[in-house]
């Protein structure tokens, strides 16, 4: 019996994972617009568009946060979320550079003290 590579077996139950789909910002905005204008429940629109209900709910919620600009509840707008991701990436790079410089300074300090002996 051939089992696909993307299958996971857990306690004799075979679960096949679907490949993760990606959507452009335009596709997300269109889905959110349909939810807002149609008056249909999110679950129905998600089913009609072949989306998961949780993904569409997340998009609708993020669109509401972006429109209101009100982040008193701690929710981040898309722009703030993007900035946070960039800042975290930069911080990781700077920490790596700092650690490298510390090691280099230690190395050269040892080397210069070995020469003076």
Between 65 and 100, name the one with better pLDDT. 100
Domain housing 33:
1-71
One domain for residues 1 and 33:
yes
| Cα–Cα distance for residue pair 98/103, rounded to 1 Å | 9
Candidates 60, 15, 67; CA nearest to 35 is 60
From residue 84, give the alpha-carbon distance in Å to each of 34, 42, 100.
Answer: 29, 29, 24
Q: Per the structure, how many domains does the chain have?
A: 2
Give, in degrees to the nearest 5, the angle at Cα 47 between 30 and 41: 75
Whether the per-residue pLDDT at 62 is higher than 70: the answer is yes
Q: 13: which strand partners? A: 10
pLDDT tens digits for range 3-61: 555 555 566 677 788 788 889 999 999 999 999 999 899 999 999 999 999 999 999 99
One domain for residues 86 and 61:
no
How high is the pLDDT of residue 16? 80
């Amino acid at each position: 019996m051939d089992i696909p590579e993307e299958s996971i077996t857990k306690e004799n139950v075979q679960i096949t994972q679907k490949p993760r789909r990606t959507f452009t910002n335009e596709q997300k905005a269109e889905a959110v617009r349909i939810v807002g204008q149609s008056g249909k429940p999110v679950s129905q629109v998600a089913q009609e568009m072949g989306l998961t209900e949780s993904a569409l709910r997340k998009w609708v919620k993020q669109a509401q946060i972006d429109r209101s600009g009100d982040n008193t509840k701690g929710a981040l707008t898309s722009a703030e979320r993007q900035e946070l991701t960039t800042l975290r990436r930069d911080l990781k790079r700077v920490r790596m550079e700092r650690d490298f410089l510390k090691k280099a300074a230690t190395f050269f300090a040892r080397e210069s003290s070995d020469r003076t002996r």
